[in-house]
Amino acid sequence: MTFTHDQAGTPATAWRADPRWAALLDGTGRPADDPLAEVDRVVVLAAHPDDETLGAGGLLATAHARGLTVSVVVATLGEASHPRSPTHTPAQLAERRARESHAAVATLAPGCVPLLLGLPDGGVADHEDTVTTAVVDVVGDGRRTLVVAPWRRDGHPDHEAVGRAGAAAAVRCGADLREYAVWFWHWASPVDAPWHRFTALPLGPAAVAAKAAAVRAHRTQVESLSDRPGDEVLLGPDLLAHAAGNVEVLVREPATDPALDRVHAETDDPWGVDRRWYEQRKRDLLLALLPHRRYGAALEVGCSTGATTLALAARCDLLTALDPSPHALALARTRLDADPAGARVRLLPGAVPDDQPPGPWDLVVVSEVGYFLSPAALDGLVARVVADLAPGGVVALAHWRHPVEGWPLDGADVHAAFTGVLPVAASYRDRDVEVLVLGHDVLPDPHD
């Protein structure tokens, strides 16, 4: 979508005259879906200083008034807002807009200091992973946390990039997600709106007043920089009317994180499982620590391209391998079809714990995948594995021991979650990898 600040857009009155706008609220004036009802913390993301105020300023003020912990992450300093300004360089604009961001956020949620990432204004899409990592670091364990990000269909490339980063972070941390529009209200019309995805948050008088004051704090946008051409007002009355009023509309979109599927789409061997000595040695260590020569029913969580899958298949009667990446499963299928042992493998699409097939399992393998789960998903995986483990069954873990950037967990976290409920039967650790075998009454089979 291409648009400019000064082109004629859909007026706010057209949106609010649509009967579906009124239908967003029920008869008591309370929201049908209060996004703040079940959370303790709110993390609001913005592409530029002022986005958080325009799209979610009332939510920020309401969350603060309810006693929730509030954080704000802003991707850029908005230095490209006036590219033809004769009075301000981009650096000067960035400095002013940073001050405005601090002032506006302090008005909405006193005590909250925004995290300003300083990424290039207009180029956030090239730094999407940086935004995701920053948000993951802020959120951590996302249970009872609401991430509020620009809508991925807002029509501005920076907004949509931050929206994608927010959605990915919500998946990785296990947080709830809502999105807000800024420019959609301007360039779109009611006929374009996915009304079934909209949720209205009523704003009390204090939140309305705080939002209005925060909008005024963004002086470089709501006032002209000077009376010279190139210094015009960017957010005029027509645009600001969309942000005014006693209701904010949020969008419910499914949180998605395509990162792991994307790496498998880009290369046939994203982790170097067929060429790196670390990967080959780790597989050999894992296989050597398994106490039995053969297993009946086994489950591999996160099979990737199937290198470990094929090695395990040689020791299993039936191995079920699960992975959420369609590209990974396709690569694994190609590998398995080329070997007779592959006939004993059942590949399934899906993510744990929601898509985890039922046991009982004589062997469960979780290798180099646990830290790609949210903390809540990891807890769910552990609970399901323990419940579905056959008598005398074992769980084999193998994970990289160094920090994992962009996700809230690392290998030590994964292993601690399992060792908290299952005893360790065998272990190996060096500088790079730790391999554990866990289970009750795990003994080598005397008949092997």
Q: How far is CA 68 from CA 30, 38, 112, in A?
A: 19, 11, 11
Q: What pLDDT, on the 0 to 100 scale, is given for residue 397?
A: 98
> Cα angle vertex 71, ends 65, 75, to 5°?
135
Q: What pLDDT, on the 0 to 100 scale, is given for residue 119?
A: 98
Query: Three-class SS of residue 341?
Result: helix
Helix axes 205-217, 90-108, angle to 10 degrees: 170
Give buried/exposed letters for 97-114 (b at 16+ CB in 10 A, else e): bbebbbbbbebbbeebeb
> How distant is the alpha carbon of residue 291 from its chain centre?
38
DSSP conformation class of 202: E
Q: What pLDDT, on the 0 to 100 scale, is given for residue 443?
A: 65
Q: How far apart are CA 254 and CA 138, in angstroms?
A: 21
Q: How far apart are CA 388 and CA 359, in angstroms?
A: 5
Q: How far apart are CA 100 and CA 61, in angstroms?
A: 17
Q: What pLDDT, on the 0 to 100 scale, is given for residue 27?
A: 46
> Cα angle vertex 108, ends 104, 113, to 5°?
65
Q: What pLDDT, on the 0 to 100 scale, is given for residue 24?
A: 84
Q: Which helix (H) or strand (E) holds 55?
A: helix 51-65
- Six token digits for residue 206: 């204090």
Q: What pLDDT, on the 0 to 100 scale, is given for residue 25?
A: 76
CB 223 within 8 A of CB 57: no
Single-letter amino acid, residue 279: E
- Regions of the chain short of the pLDDT cut 70: 1-7, 26-32, 443-448
Omega cis (within 30) before 353: yes
Q: What pLDDT, on the 0 to 100 scale, is given for residue 45?
A: 98
DSSP conformation class of 38: T
